[in-house]
Amino acid sequence: MNALRIAFLTNEFVIEYMTSGGLGNYLSRITQALKSIGHEPEVFVRRLGSEIPDVVDYNGIRVEHVAAANNLPLRLLARFDKQYLHSPFGGPANYIGTALGLARALERRHKERPFDFVQSTNCGASGLFVRNAQKRPHIIRLSSHRGLWFQADGQRGLGVKSISWLERKCLRRADIAYAPSRFVAKHCRQSGWRKDVHVVRPPMLEETDAADEVPAGLPSRYLIHFGQIGPRKGSDVLARALCHVWQQEPDFKMIWAGRVVRPGDYEHCHLMWGEHAPNVIWMGAVRKELLYAILKNSLAAVLPSRADNLPNTVIESLMLGVPVIGSNGASIDELVQSGINGELVPVGDDARLADAMIKVWRGELEWDATNLCPSSVFSELDPGTAVKNLINLAYQGVK
């Protein structure tokens, strides 16, 4: 196969967020996987600060930082939103400005060195203004179903609806759409967002080695909850479950690490714990190599999402030999099998979650740590397979 030139449009990458979430980590992995077999991926990402050069080389990948459009209509829209809509993520003005900037940068670069296909993310409606071009299919990858995510977080209002509408519009304008999980693809079909959403798994690879040591002062035994912290990730369910756990195991310890979905999400959990609050160590956002070291030393990862999309947290845990206690649904059951590489509990069931954690703490649940990735899904996460499946999907859009 000839080398393909592929543009990735995004509002997040690992250069800007060294403690990046799922989207930034995915893009780092897929671009490296493509480059390793001779293809030429490039990343176009929303600029977040003036101190970063316009174009940088990130491990052999060209990354262009793009300023969002900021014309008078968008400034007026932003002012209206701030006063009346109170939208998340900077509101429609931020979405439209980001998408306009990315589309213009893409076309400038395409004239210099044409791309074979373009992939954008639903996040920030990044591909909303990508021009339709013959023999340059536009693929959108769903990192979320925003309507479902807002519902899980209990967020409502016109601002939230406007963001969901823009992401749905972006999804429908693309030539091809796919999600990493059957869960999100199915929900898109059922909710009427788009009927023909494919499933393509991301590559699973370890971009960095774990640090040699964990930070001083951590307990000798602990379970871990990490990634985004908030209702969609089941953090509040876990907080309630801990109250049950401490009734039977008052010395039970946990580490929580990551970024909150909304300000106050961690504090809301912390208030439930009363005198047992010191048993949870809050790390906040942690750099990848340190996070991997903390994760590898844990007894299990507890990841009871209400809504998720083949989460990196689950993949990374299993990749590093750490079993997962998660939800029987929300896509986690596409990776975790009870009694094989973790335990599954009903979504939102804090009592069942507590029971599973107590059994792990007491050593009553055991797994084969040498084979925590046994299902057929993990063959699709092989980097070579993931790249092949993405390219095959793109070829469907070549007229």
In tens, the pLDDT along 248-261 reads 999 999 999 999 99
Q: Residue 107's pLDDT is what?
A: 98
Mean pLDDT on 225-237: 96
- Residue 398 pLDDT level (bands cut at 50, 70, 90): low
C-alpha separations of 304 from 103, 231, 234, 308, 328 in Å: 37, 10, 5, 10, 8
Among the listed residues 203, 202, 195, 162, the one whose alpha carbon sits nearest the alpha carbon of residue 177:
195
- Residue 397 pLDDT level (bands cut at 50, 70, 90): low
Asked if the model's pLDDT at residue 94 lies above 60, the reply is: yes
Q: Residue 366's pLDDT is what?
A: 83
pLDDT 10s digits, 119-135:
999 999 999 999 998 88
**Whether the Cβ atoms of residue 295 and residue 286 lie closer than 8 Å to each other:** no
What is d(CA 269, CA 260) in angstroms, rounded to the nearest whole number? 11
pLDDT 10s digits, 12-51:
998 876 555 689 989 999 999 999 999 999 999 999 877 7
pLDDT 10s digits, 317-359:
999 999 999 999 999 999 999 999 999 999 999 999 999 999 9
Q: Residue 17's pLDDT is what?
A: 64
**Whether the Cβ atoms of residue 87 and residue 162 lie closer than 8 Å to each other:** yes
Average pLDDT taken over every residue of the chain = 93
- Residue 61 pLDDT level (bands cut at 50, 70, 90): very high
Among the listed residues 340, 341, 344, 374, the one whose alpha carbon sits nearest the alpha carbon of residue 356:
344
| Complete domains list, the chain, with CATH | 5-203+382-396 (3.40.50.2000), 223-375 (3.40.50.2000)
pLDDT 10s digits, 264-273:
999 999 999 9
- Sheet of 223-229: strands edge to edge? 280-284, 254-260, 223-229, 301-303, 324-327, 342-345
Sign of CA dihedral 381, 387, 388, 391: positive
In the chain, the percentage of residues whose pLDDT exceeds 70 is: 98
What is d(CA 49, CA 54) in angstroms, rounded to the nearest whole number? 10
Asked if the model's pLDDT at residue 399 lies above 60, the reply is: no
The amino acid occupying position 108 is: R
Cα 273 from chain centroid? 28
| Angle between helix 22-36 and 312-319 (nearest 10) | 60
DSSP state letter for 338: B
Mean pLDDT on 174-193: 95
**Whether the Cβ atoms of residue 135 and residue 114 lie closer than 8 Å to each other:** no
Angle formed at CA 345 by CA 343 and CA 347, multiple of 5 degrees: 140
Mean pLDDT on 130-150: 94
Residues whose CB is less than 8 angstroms from the CB of residue 204 and which lie 6 or more positions away in sequence, other chains included: 29, 315, 319, 373, 378, 381, 382, 383, 386
pLDDT 10s digits, 358-383:
999 999 988 877 778 877 889 999 99
**Whether the Cβ atoms of residue 47 and residue 68 lie closer than 8 Å to each other:** yes
